Structure 1
Amino acid sequence: MEKWITRGVAAICATGSTALFWTFGVFLAVPWRENRMLSLNSVEWQVLGIPLVVGLAVTWGALHILAIADRASSPRLYLALGVALAIVSLLAVFGGMAWTGERIALPAP
């Protein structure tokens, strides 16, 4: 029972990190589409940096909480859940970019 509670807390943290990565993708879509990733201003760096850095920190925390429950007793499950979290995080970034991309008004040709 104790492992399931710990896994539940790790899942809540992982859900929060996924939301932060989705938010990062939402704000990444516009400069990415306009090919100006190397010329961002300071506000854009903050808007992109905060969800990315906090998302990485929360993901790291979720993996550490998950390690309490599974790293020693079932390392394959821990590895599989870590890889799944990495894949879901990348998909969240792409999902946020797609969500914004669908709502951007394209210029007339």
Structure 2
Amino acid sequence: EVTQALHDLHDAGCDIITITQYLRPSPRHHPVERWVKPEEFVEHSTTAEEIGFAGVMAGPLVRSSYRAGRLYAQAMAHHGRELPAGQAHLTESGDASQEASSLMARLAR
């Protein structure tokens, strides 16, 4: 289902994607049905990149507003466009700590 949704979104013109886990905000909200493993997020991220998404961030704690500038910079680079001088800091490399790939790298040490 996730792969099909990624294809559908990309085909519709979506260029940047965040893939995350539903977190129950309070006991009054729908419970979490299953916890997605970090390896699954890494797989989904790889699939999204292979499909052609210009910016991808995936992990259980990733939120669309967090590091949005970094995703924008990834998309600009993907399309061969330069960032304005005042936004050059957005190109700093490295995964955000909320990304599953960052967690997997820390666990591998």
Q: Which range, TM-score by smaller chain?
A: under 0.3
Higher CA-based Rg: 1
TM-score for both structures, normalised by structure 2 = 0.26
Query: Structure 1 or 2: larger strand share?
Result: 2
Query: Structure 1 or 2: larger helix share?
Result: 1
